[in-house]
Amino acid sequence: MKLNGISKETMEDIHRFVHERDWEQFHTPKDLAISLSLEAAELLEIFQWSGTDKLPHMKEEIADVLVYCIQLCDVLDLDPEEIIRTKMAGNCAKYPVDKAYGSAKKYTELK
């Protein structure tokens, strides 16, 4: 897999962790996407009723989300940098600066 920006050592750590537990069998795209969604919900939960410094917990949940994203890209043989750049190019077309600047409107609502 091509993972620009993710070190070989980090990828090896993730692969080793999964392999040592014989979890590859569970890492289908569907199951990784479900796990990603659940971890994102855990991240969101931190903000519910927040009022104290929860940065350490946020970092843990963000790491979980990132690991599942990396694993999903790995299983689907996707290059995260490439798909992000493609998505950003599409976002730039949907949200031109002159129409979207300072607005939270969806691209279909921009005039």
Q: Is the pLDDT of residue 62 over 60?
A: yes
Give the rounded distance of the alpha carbon of 108 from its chain centre: 25
8 Å CB contact between 29 and 75? yes
Give the tens place of pLDDT for each residue, 2-55: 455 678 889 899 999 999 999 999 999 999 999 999 999 999 999 888 766 889
pLDDT tens-digit map of 69-108: 999 999 999 988 899 999 999 999 999 999 999 999 999 9
**pLDDT at site 5:** 67
How many of the other CB atoms lie within 10 Å of CB of 48?
Answer: 6
Q: What is the mean pLDDT of residues 53-65?
A: 93
User: What is the pLDDT at residue 51?
Assistant: 65
